[in-house]
Amino acid sequence: MSGGHNVIEPNGAACYCGQSGCLETVISGKGLERFYTEQSGRVLPLPEIVALAANNDLHAQATMARMSHYFGIAVAQIINVLDPDVIVIGGGVGNIDALYQQAEQAILPHLFNGELNTLIVKPDLGDSAGVFGAAALVKSVVVN
């Protein structure tokens, strides 16, 4: 999903792009870690927060609920405007299985037609998908 600098929380944290409440500041790994720290007073990496959520840590669960809520809003905006068949989620947050398990529940309330027909998937190449795509593009330009 492109669009890390689309505003999804208008009064949210300042982003380095000059806006506030961008997707990047709200549900990126760093954004979720910052939220967890604000809630708990503890500084932890996202994989540990995800594990704590599964073990009933209330602050970690609130962090995952925030991720799911804003993910639903962001993805629904894309679906409402473009109506894609598939959305591939990249980045570190895209590796969190709970994101996909909760996707339909998070997206549906924000859809215009109330029906989710778009597949939400992980990239086959993991976090390196963008690098492989760029290399393929350079190769196709150089060869042609």
Which residue would you say has higher pLDDT here, 104 or 134? 104
Q: How many whole angstroms separate alpha carbon 70 and alpha carbon 91?
A: 16
Which pLDDT score, from 0 to 100, does residue 143 have? 65
- Helix residue ranges per DSSP H, the chain: 23-27, 29-40, 46-54, 58-82, 97-101, 103-107, 129-143
Q: What are phi and psi of 88, to 5 degrees?
A: -100, 125
Q: Which of 53, 54, 70, 71 is nearest to 62 (CA)?
A: 53
Q: Which amino acid is at 65?
A: A
| Average pLDDT for the chain | 91
Which pLDDT score, from 0 to 100, does residue 1 have? 37
Of the candidate ranges 7-16, 31-40, 98-107, the one whose mean pLDDT is the lowest: 7-16
Average pLDDT over residues 89-98: 90
Write the pLDDT tens digit of every residue in 36-74.
999 999 999 999 999 999 999 999 999 999 999 999 999
Q: In the predicted model, is pLDDT for residue 106 greater than 90?
A: yes
Average pLDDT over residues 112-134: 84
- Whole-number percent of the chain with pLDDT over 70: 95
Which pLDDT score, from 0 to 100, does residue 3 have? 67
Helix (H) or strand (E) holding 138: helix 129-143
Which pLDDT score, from 0 to 100, does residue 75 have? 96
Average pLDDT over residues 10-31: 92
